[in-house]
Amino acid sequence: MKLPRIILASASPRRSELLKELGLNFDVIPADADEIAPVHLSPHEICLVNAHRKARVIARENPDALVIGADTIVCLGQQIFGKPPNSTKARRILEALSGKTHEVVTGVCLMEIRARREKLFAVSTTVSFQRLTPGRVREYVKSVNTLDKAGAYAIQEHGDMIIKKINGSHSNVVGLPLERLRKELGDWGYSELL
């Protein structure tokens, strides 16, 4: 089987770094697709819809490529925490997560338009936060760029300051569930890519 060109439909440097860990050669073409969060959808469904929207935009322009779209959200129950617009909102999000266990969900869409193949899956990881003092929250917001991160935090950037434990895929919390992605690519016959 001829290996397709692989495109990551994401501007996230963290996702690029993760994909490189699989040893894949790929191009990055960020998708210009608005992320949506309809209230009638579950967090898993929202991630899948957004991952599909991103993959579809790039796959239409590159029908012979294998396009990977992804979307990650942080949720506490049904409350979804996206990327904060400013440091005040980032502090509020971290205070809301303090001492609690929340869920990080990443939806992934693999799409090959010419081959008429598409696969959607979502992976969930639970993350327990330490009890955070106001001083610890301020310190974290100063030391990490929280504005480009869902939930206003990054496990790979001073995560030990705020995170007590995780249950599930570590790479999923960063933004791409590598274990599941490797399995799905293998199931599609691309195990030689890995």
Q: Which residues have a catalytic role annotated? A: 71
Determine contact, residues 82/150, Cβ cutoff 8 Å.
yes
Sign of the Cα pseudo-torsion (158, 160, 161, 165, in order): positive
Q: Which helix (H) or strand (E) holds 19?
A: helix 13-21
Cα separation, 153 vs 173, in Å, equals 10
DSSP structural state of residue 5: P
List the structure tokens of 153.
């935090």
Cα separation, 161 vs 130, in Å, equals 8
